[in-house]
Structure 1
C-alpha cells in the first residue's frame, strides 16, 4: 500500500495520540499501581475501535487486532513511572508529587496506542494479527511485569510468533534508531551487603570492631579487584549505589548496609562475579574480625535480538529512515530491561528510538522529544504492513542467545 495512505490515517488520529501522551505524562503511576493509567489507555483504545483486554490479577492492557492471519506479532510497551520529582519545567509536567515518567514510558505507551489504532484502521492491508501489550512495572526489578504478563498467557491465544520492543533513547536524534543483533541490553542483578561489627566507645577502638572500616575495605576491593577476575573483553558493571549505617559520631559503628547492582552480558561472567563478591566480602570482614554477608537478587536477563528478525527490521528501518539514521555499530547497553523475558520465549527485536534529550534516562530533567512518537508509530506500523519478518523464516526457531 502507499505510504501516503498510512500518513493520511495517522494524520486523522495523531493529535489524539499526542494528547494521550501528555495525559499519561501528567498523571504518572508507579509499577503495579498504574490503575488510572490502565483505565485511560483502555478507554482510549475502545474509543478508537480497538478491542482490548484487562486483567483482574494486575494492571496493564492488551490490545488485539484479529485479522484471522497465520502469524501474530506482539509489541510490548511499558506504562509505569519512577519515584522522582519532575524538574523539567514543562507546562504539562507531572501533577503527582514525587512521581514522573523519567524513563519515557508515557511515550512508549502512546506509541503502542498509535500502532494499535493504525493496525485497526488499516486492517484490510494488515497480513498479520497484532497484539500490543501495555505492560506494568518494568521498573520493578527483579519482579517486573513481563514475567507476570507472560504467566497470564499474553503470548498465547493466539500464540505470538515474534515480538517487537523499543525504548526512547536520548543519545540519538529524532529520526534515528540504534539496533544490533544479539545482546542489546544487559542482565541486571541487585545485591545487599550486611556488615556486622562490635560497638565500642570511639575513644576505645581496640574494644570494638569497626563495621565502617570493614565496609570501606569492601568498597575498595569491589572497585579494584573485579577487573582481575573477569574477561576484559566481556563488559560488566558493578556499582554500589547506597550505604547506610547506624550509630553516633563518638561510637564505633557495629552495623553497615550497602546495596548495588551487577550488570553483565554472559552467564559465565554473571556467575563469576556473584561468587567473587560473596567470597571477597566474607574474607575482608574476617580479616578485620567482623562478619559480612551478601544477599543477591537475580534480576532481568540479557535482552537478545534474534539475528534474522533484526536483519529484516534493520533493512526496513534503513528504507524508512535512511541508512545513516540507523545506527548498527553501537555497543550493547548495560542498562537492563525486562523485555528479556519475551526475547527468551519467542524471536524478538528491540531497538532504541532517538528522542534527542540532553538529559539521561532516569534524570528528573528527562523529557523525550514529542516528534519521536511519530517516528516510532510510522516505523513499527510500516514494518507490520511489510511483514518481511513473517516470511522466509521458521518462526518456531528459538531466539538467538
Structure 2
C-alpha cells in the first residue's frame, strides 16, 4: 500500500465524520441550491488550513491538499445535492427541510470527502503529491448535472488531475464490501417527454373524438417491444414510464395526455437504436390513430466507464484494507451518474461503498423516502479514499 498508511487512522475522525454526515442530512439542499452546504464545506476547509476555491458550476468547491513531497495529482469527487423527497425515517437527524431529503447518500459522500481531506492534510508531510477535493453540485439534475459546468468554469485550470476517483454509498452491499468493475459501472441515462394530442368530446360520443388516453395506452405498451424485439437480449436497455397526466373529467374524453420517462442503456449504439425506434414508433402509432405526438428527448449522462488499471487499483487497496473477500462480484447498474463526464477527460474509477443496514430485513433503495445508511461505513469510506489517494500518487510517481 505504500509508505503512507491510513488503515486504522479513520478512528481519529470517526465522531467527526458521523456528525458531519448528520448535519448535512438534517439540512439538505436540492440541485443548484446548495448554498449553505457549500459554505459549510468551505468553513471546515478554512478551519483546517486547507487551500480552497469556489464558483465552479454555481456552488461547487475545490479543496487542495498539498503534500510536502513532490508528486502527481489525484482528484477525489463527492456530490452534495439532495432530492425533492419527503423523508419518512424516524431518526434524530431526519431532514428538517420539508419535502427535501438526502435520499441518495450525497450527505455521506460530502462528509467522507471533508473528513478524507482533513486526514490527508494532517499527514501532508508524508504525502508525495497533491490531492484535489472536488465537491460537486447538481448531480441529481440530469441531464444538465454539475460536472460539465465545473470544468467549464475552470475547475482544473490551476491543478489538473492525473487520475480521478469517486465513491457512492450502496445499500445492496454489506458494510465492509466494495463494488468495483473495469469498464462500464453505470449506464447512459436519458429522459423523454411525450405529448399526445387528440380531439376531446363527450364520453357518450367517442366516434366524434380522438381519445388521447387510448392512443397513449397503445404507445406505452408498444414502447416495451423496442426492448424485447429491437435490442439484442444480451445487451442492456430499459424504458420506464414514470409519469402520466391526462384528462380533465370522468365523462370527458381526453384531448391531451403527457407521459414522461427514462431510457437506460450501456452502449452508445444501443442508446441510439432505442432513441430512433422511440421516435418512429410513437409517431407511427399516433398518426395511425388520428392523433399527433410531440417528443422531447433529452440526452443525459453518458455511461460511467472505469479505466481498467485504476479500477484494479481500487480493488487492490480495498482488499489490502478490508481483506480479500471485500470485493465481491457485482454487476454494473443502469443508474445514471454525472461522474462519467469527468471520466471522459481523465482516467479514473467509480466504486460502490457497502452501506446496508444489517437490522433491516429489506434494504430501502436509493431515492426511497426511507433510505438510510449504516454509519459504520463512513470510516471505511474515509480510510479507503485516503489510502487510494496515497497509493495512486505512489503509482503515478513511479
Aligned partner (choices 364, 367, 370) of residue 359 of structure 1: 364
Alpha-carbon shift at residue 386 of structure 1 (Å) = 2.4
Is the partner of 2:70 in helix, strand or coil? coil
User: Could you report, residue by residue, the CA deviation over 1:302-327 in whole angstroms, capped at 9, with x for unpaired residues?
Assistant: 00000111112211211111111112
Is the partner of 1:292 in helix, strand or coil? strand
| CA contact 1:115–1:380 (8 Å) conserved in 2 | yes
The residue number in structure 1 matching 2:360 is none
The residue number in structure 2 matching 1:153 is 154
The residue number in structure 2 matching 1:125 is 126
Alpha-carbon shift at residue 115 of structure 1 (Å) = 1.0
> Relative CO higher for 1 or 2, CA cutoff 8 Å, sep ≥ 6?
2
Structure 2: any 5+ residue segments left out of the alignment?
A: 358-362
The residue number in structure 1 matching 2:274 is 273
| CA contact 2:80–2:110 (8 Å) conserved in 1 | yes
C-alpha distance in 1 between matches for 2:180 and 2:27: 31
Structure 1: any 5+ residue segments left out of the alignment?
A: 393-401
C-alpha distance in 2 between matches for 1:317 and 1:6: 11
Is the partner of 2:110 in helix, strand or coil? helix
C-alpha distance in 1 between matches for 2:73 and 2:7: 21
C-alpha distance in 2 between matches for 1:111 and 1:160: 20
Alpha-carbon shift at residue 343 of structure 1 (Å) = 0.6
The residue number in structure 1 matching 2:30 is 30
C-alpha distance in 2 between matches for 1:351 and 1:46: 29
C-alpha distance in 1 between matches for 2:55 and 2:159: 17
Compare 22-31 and 312-321 and name the one that shifted more.
312-321
| CA contact 1:76–1:135 (8 Å) conserved in 2 | yes
The residue number in structure 2 matching 1:318 is 319
Equivalent residues in 2 for 1:264-343, closer than 5 Å: 264-327=265-328, 329-343=329-343
Compare 367-376 and 221-230 and name the one that shifted more.
221-230
Q: Kindly tell me the number of residue pairs found equivalent between the two proteins.
A: 389
C-alpha distance in 2 between matches for 1:389 and 1:261: 40
| CA contact 2:227–2:238 (8 Å) conserved in 1 | no
C-alpha distance in 2 between matches for 1:247 and 1:46: 55
The residue number in structure 1 matching 2:396 is 390
Q: TM-score, structure 1 length as denominator?
A: 0.94
Alpha-carbon shift at residue 57 of structure 1 (Å) = 6.0
Is the partner of 2:128 in helix, strand or coil? coil
C-alpha distance in 1 between matches for 2:192 and 2:106: 26
User: Could you report, residue by residue, the CA deviation over 1:272-298 in whole angstroms, capped at 9, with x for unpaired residues?
Assistant: 000000000011111111111221001
| CA contact 1:312–1:389 (8 Å) conserved in 2 | no
Aligned partner (choices 376, 381, 384) of residue 376 of structure 1: 381
Q: TM-score, structure 2 length as denominator?
A: 0.94
Is the partner of 1:263 in helix, strand or coil? strand
| CA contact 1:125–1:385 (8 Å) conserved in 2 | no
Compare 45-54 and 381-390 and name the one that shifted more.
381-390
Aligned CA-pair RMSD? 1.5
| CA contact 1:208–1:252 (8 Å) conserved in 2 | yes
Alpha-carbon shift at residue 100 of structure 1 (Å) = 0.7
Is the partner of 1:234 in helix, strand or coil? coil
Q: Is the alpha carbon distance of 1:147 and 1:57 closer, same or farther for their aligned partners in structure 2, counting shifts above 3 Å?
A: closer
Which ranges of 4 or more aligned residues in structure 1 deviate by more than 4 Å?
A: none
C-alpha distance in 2 between matches for 1:72 and 1:38: 23
Is the partner of 2:187 in helix, strand or coil? strand
Alpha-carbon shift at residue 156 of structure 1 (Å) = 2.9
C-alpha distance in 2 between matches for 1:240 and 1:65: 44
Compare 376-385 and 101-110 and name the one that shifted more.
376-385
The residue number in structure 2 matching 1:259 is 260
Compare 150-159 and 168-177 and name the one that shifted more.
150-159
C-alpha distance in 1 between matches for 2:166 and 2:95: 25
C-alpha distance in 2 between matches for 1:199 and 1:228: 33
C-alpha distance in 1 between matches for 2:302 and 2:56: 27
The residue number in structure 2 matching 1:42 is 42
| CA contact 2:248–2:254 (8 Å) conserved in 1 | yes
C-alpha distance in 2 between matches for 1:348 and 1:311: 10
The residue number in structure 1 matching 2:245 is 244
Alpha-carbon shift at residue 2 of structure 1 (Å) = 6.5
Is the partner of 1:257 in helix, strand or coil? strand
